[in-house]
Copies of this chain bind each other. A is one copy, B any other.
């Protein structure tokens, strides 16, 4: 275990915030802590087995010449290993584990042996395919694979202080830099990812070549070098984009890289494009679950307001990418709207990507289903499973940020933090039953003068804040309650957020949601699942005038369910009628009680239909 974890952050004036590292925050209890624990205890070991079983590790051994046989699987399968390394590295930060550390070293050694002398590393392009290297940037994901290697290496370096993987990554990055760049070869990646990785490598090494290379790859877009089409987000220069289009994961990863680049170089035309894309995404193309990508075809965004429920794609990786992008946007523009989307995505369309048992995954996250969609153990294209592992494992790093004014608390979850700020350590503890309860209790365990920025979620229709049990009415700045004072050890802050269940309606331009409502409580989007209800859920019409009652339940590892009242038609009423007077319908419907569960937790029990958007009576 390293003495201290290395944290290299920007010194750019364009970054209004600085990260608070995973090493500074410990989750103590509650939903997210449970998810982290499951990642470590279940997901990571089972995924390691799968990396072996599905020949992802074999491909490295083969490339190293240690074994014989054909390359196995998709040409981007290396990334599953890299993302798994990244996930394991994050867990080491919040909970050291000698065995996992050793296992990582073993795997890293295999990766290292697969690297060419010139630094090139992609186990698909070895031997007979060596001559095809860099010949098809549009489709073949070499730069995408490099990006995940770099991210894994930086995470591993931060987690362990070791440079064994970082050296591999740097060697490959240097090779890429020797091939691509102004005056060298033109090109960019058909699947963005390298951009944010290179900025991270720049931050880790302070080597400006990597930042310049990230900028180069972003500047190369829109020149038709990788398809020239919407799918590859190559139809326009990045700075000219005004509609979020194309393959959802690629599009959102690109936005992550572009945000990272902006934070370093301050090019306002990039930020303006990002702001336009963010508005277009959140105002026209985002599912209420935070899900991104309406279409199976091209795993892509659809037209504006094209948000079908049953055929929603909403890939788990796209939710992850959106979460990562919104976090980055917060550094450029510290406004609660970005943390709101992070939270909305995390608790809904992102957490839905993994089963409660930690070893089954959704690639696609529909908002309605007839009962056939179930989480799988693995996929031939297995981008999502290790991606959600690394994201969840890194969650402690997303809770806080800091600025010269003080500490920002974005996500409420029980934790203890020791945050380096202004050459001192600020200790604090958050106690809460969030997201099931809106009461958040914060204790400051240090003496210091700073501002505490507490996010007041956009969904909170009411809130109150007490400092040392006295009502406080702090200034709200862009969605954050700012409380500046000389904090003394033992000071207590209590923020109470109104968590009444809310009936949500959709923009009527979203055709599939017309006449339907969704239910939210706090950050949680609810759904109706067949197993909790003794009538066919497709028949339900919600009476929105009746109360929605939250009830804590032990099911699904403990969640708040919501009960409400509604109607189902008399049996067979609609079998022989195409149209009915509303009065006749009203006289032939039966009042029933229904139960809703959090969307993220559906499909963890008996198979059956599910709906987020439910018809209203």
Contact = CB atoms under 8 A, between A and B. Distances in A.
A476 interface: no
11 contacts: A279-B576, A283-B576, A288-B578, A504-B581, A507-B574, A507-B577, A508-B574, A514-B514, A514-B515, A514-B516, A517-B582
Contact of A507 (B511, B515, B578): B578
Contacts of A576: 279, 283
A360 interface: no
* Binding site secondary structure of chain A: mixed
Interface string A493-506: 00000000011111
A286 interface: yes
A524 to B, nearest CB: 14
A506 B580 CA distance: 6
A579 interface: yes
B503 A582 contact: yes
User: Closest 4 A-B residue pairs measured CB to CB?
Assistant: A515-B515, A503-B582, A514-B515, A502-B581
Interface string A548-592: 000000000000000000000000001111111111010000000
A236 interface: no
A261 B32 CA distance: 72
Nearest to A307: B578
A288 B615 CA distance: 21
Nearest to A279: B576
B583 A502 contact: yes
Contacts of A461: 581, 583
A581 B507 contact: no
B502 A579 contact: no
B503 A578 contact: no
A376 B229 CA distance: 40
A29 B104 CA distance: 92
A282 interface: yes
B580 A282 contact: no
A511 B539 CA distance: 13
Count of chain copies: 2
A578 B515 contact: no
A162 interface: no
Contacts of A581: 461, 502-505, 520
A489 interface: no
A615 B514 contact: yes
A488 interface: no
Given A514-B516, A516-B515, A578 B502 contact: no
A243 to B, nearest CB: 15
Interface of A: 279, 282-284, 286, 288, 461, 502-512, 514-518, 520, 538-539, 544, 574-583, 585, 615-616
A516 B578 CA distance: 14
Contacts of A504: 579-582
A125 B461 CA distance: 76
Given A515-B515, A515-B615, A615-B515, A578 B505 contact: no
Given A516-B515, A616-B515, A510 B283 contact: no
B578 A283 contact: yes
A479 to B, nearest CB: 16
A580 B510 contact: no
Given A283-B575, A505-B581, 13 more contacts: A504-B580, A504-B581, A504-B582, A505-B579, A507-B577, A508-B539, A508-B615, A511-B512, A514-B514, A514-B516, A515-B515, A518-B579, A520-B581
B574 A505 contact: no
A353 B516 CA distance: 34
A615 B511 CA distance: 11
A284 B514 contact: no
A539 B544 CA distance: 21
A616 B583 CA distance: 14
Contacts of A517: 582
A28 B495 CA distance: 78
A136 to B, nearest CB: 37
B283 A505 contact: no
A461 B275 CA distance: 57
A319 to B, nearest CB: 16
A615 B518 CA distance: 17
Contact of A578 (B506, B514, B574): B506
A503 B583 contact: yes
A203 to B, nearest CB: 34
Given A514-B515, A515-B515, A579 B503 contact: no
